[in-house]
Amino acid sequence: MEADDRLFSLVLALIATEHGLLKTEILSTVRGYAERYDARPGRNANLERQFERDKEQLRELGIPLETLESPDHAGDNQLLRYRIRKGRYELPESVRFTPDEIGLLGLAAEVWREASLSEDSQRALTKLRALGIEPREPVIGYAPRLRVRDGAFDPLRQALDRHQTVRFRYLRPGSEAPRERTVDPHALVLHEGRWHLHGHDRDLDAPRTFLLSRITGPVASVSNSTFDPPQPGVQDRVLAELEALRLANAADLELIAGSDAEVRLGRRAVERDGRVIRLHYTDEVVFADELASYGPEVRVIAPDSLRARVRDRLAAVVAAHRDEAR
């Protein structure tokens, strides 16, 4: 039996009980376990280990699994009961989906099935199915597969799900060497095609937003260090802040007619006057890297700081080629 189906059956069973189920009741009755359950004492060690792994996976998926001790036998793990309180798991009354919306949700989950966001897609599908909503077949013939390229994404996503503090080295613009940061991850957001981590920087005791592509080396979890989840809506707030930053930064560029730069940058222009366009950007360092990649096809008119960064990059390329020619 597929693991997804076993987890789905476990979720259904734990939602359906008000007082919780004993481990033996789960193993002997829930589909995915019951087929292999042996009533003879000491014959279910492998099945019990499977249940322990499944419990951890449910919690990693954000499912509020609770354990209840027996009032008469406190501390006896054999008499622990497990449940998922329906009030903490069901959708709010104000949230309802049309058949087409459910189809699109199913398609979105298919898109991410093998990607770095597979835990999110599994969480969404498991929740929909447990609430009696079965996504239809995808609304198009096939679903593409998307992958997140930043190596820091997976460990940050896992730490965020587990509310666990992380430590990584981060290279700030203008710095010669990366500096170690200790952060409580609150949200991962995608803005202008780039992933950002927002969290509480423990060293600075302040909220900070980090560009994932500037994280160098591995992301490590800090042992025995967890934090309370942030207030709802943190993702929307961070995206609004990034968008405000983007709108506050404007560049005037002169483009060579018919060039690749004109095609690609021209689509993002908010104003155009002949070959001169104006567009917004969020991160000057990242934007300078992009503009320098077009070489002579683009000339920065303003701002001066952006023009200087692009000029420095082009000068570095020239110097590198001169060194190779010697």
Per residue in 226-249, pLDDT tens?
Answer: 898 888 889 899 999 999 999 999
pLDDT level of residue 104 (50, 70, 90 thresholds): low
Regarding the domain delimited by 3-89, which CATH topology (the fold level of the hierarchy) does it fall under?
A: Arc Repressor Mutant, subunit A (1.10.10)
Give the pLDDT of residue 320.
85
Long-range contacts of 177-185 (CB under 8 A, 24+ apart): 178/216, 178/217, 181/208, 181/210, 182/222, 183/208, 183/210, 184/227, 185/156, 185/159, 185/160
* Dist CA 226 CA 184 (whole Å): 8
pLDDT level of residue 15 (50, 70, 90 thresholds): confident
Give the pLDDT of residue 8.
80
The dihedral sign for the CA sequence 210, 211, 214, 219: positive
How many contiguous H segments (helices) and E segments (strands) does the chain have?
Answer: 11, 12
Instruction: List, as one string, the DSSP characters of 184-205.
Output: EEEEEEEETTEEEEEEEETTTT
Lowest mean pLDDT among 147-156, 194-203, 307-316: 147-156
Taking residues 31-60, report their average pLDDT.
88
> What percent of the chain lies above the pLDDT cut of 70?
79
Taking residues 163-189, report their average pLDDT.
93
Task: Give Dmax (Cα) for the chain.
Answer: 84
pLDDT at 116 over 50: no
Token digits of residue 185: 């991850």
Q: What are the boundaries of each domain within the chain?
A: 3-89, 153-238, 249-325
pLDDT level of residue 254 (50, 70, 90 thresholds): very high
Give the pLDDT of residue 105.
64
pLDDT at 107 over 70: no
Give the pLDDT of residue 295.
93
Same fold, 3-89 and 153-238: no
Domain at 153-238: CATH architecture:
Roll (2.30)
Q: Is the pTM above the cut of 0.85?
A: no
Instruction: List, as one string, the DSSP characters of 262-321.
Output: HHHHHTT-SEEETTEEEEE-S-HHHHHHHHHTTGGGEEEEE-HHHHHHHHHHHHHHHHHH
**Which residues have a Cβ under 8 Å from the Cβ of 268 and sit 6 or more positions away?**
279
pLDDT at 184 over 90: yes
pLDDT level of residue 208 (50, 70, 90 thresholds): very high
Give the pLDDT of residue 31.
83
Taking residues 107-129, report their average pLDDT.
52
pLDDT tens digits, 259-293: 999 989 998 999 999 999 999 999 999 999 999 99
* Dist CA 288 CA 307 (whole Å): 8
- CA 205 vs CA 25, 182, 184, 208, 230: distances in Å: 47, 10, 10, 9, 15
**Contact between residue 165 and residue 225 where contact means Cβ atoms under 8 Å apart:** yes
pLDDT at 256 over 60: yes
Give the pLDDT of residue 95.
65
pLDDT at 156 over 50: yes
Give the Cβ contact number of residue 194 at 10 Å: 15
**Contact between residue 79 and residue 87 where contact means Cβ atoms under 8 Å apart:** no
Dihedral of the alpha carbons of 11, 14, 16, 17, in degrees to the nearest 10: 180
Amino acid at the residue 121: S
Phi, psi of 119 (to 5 degrees): -65, -40
